Structure 1
């Protein structure tokens, strides 16, 4: 039985990059998918999947409609938690910390890097609002496509991005007989402290 941790005491961003690269090579779909947990103003938890669109020492970035349920919850409480679960690798990473909104220039750049049809779909959507029937949404999509027959679609002001600046990052690795391996990194000034956790 291996009684040594397989999760190294390294910079957590470097370790994330290593694991993320391995996930991109092994996961069949959306290796950048992550669960995003927010809370309502009354403290009730709220959870959904989003896609990671940028990461590094500054944090972990995703984009959304700020008028959606998640956007409203974020603006009311600028804290969140992320969870990556890579089933093919039997690994997960939990990340917690405060959020900040990205600049308009960063939101513009990412919005216009998306396929044109995705730009139209986002601009036409009142995300999370009631929809009488799908035909109504597709009518909006067609109207925008006619209004802007070529080139980029203007980014709606409410379509933006948020960056989570991690205060805690926990790496979890499946081990035989449920004797799992966990290491928690906690922000300490400009650096990190770390400890193993019981599974």
Structure 2
């Protein structure tokens, strides 16, 4: 039994453990690889029609999805591997992800994923990886591209980041410190006065 790190008084028994690991690589040919791996492990022995004996600790799912991108976030190539699946038919859908070639990670990405791989057109687990792959791609490609450009050339990227999250709100201290020319005036919201 494991003790919760959140609630020290509750004992827990492992039921399901999903780990997702996503790594961004800069390639020697000027492109980028964003590689995502998903592994599911159960806390009990389980069985499926195609895998009658999956003991505790053995992967129920072990899948990898790698997108190769150019500097504009356009997908140049897609590679998948499905080393462990619950059903023998699961790997049959892996090549469907080649449909991403030519797409660009950016606005409308979630909609594109749903259109291309919703329902039986894709694998739930590979599809699930495409959301976090986008954020890692941004961190990988944009960080590297900004690092190699001067401040003014990178301004368009910085501008797109403002108001993208709480930490980078336009009227906040971080934008004022990082990109003063993009800072917005602070506006305090007054509570309504009722009598």
TM-score by length of 1: 0.24
User: If you compute each CA radius of gyration, which structure gives the higher value, 1 or 2?
Assistant: 2
Q: Which has the higher strand share?
A: 1
TM-score by length of 2: 0.24
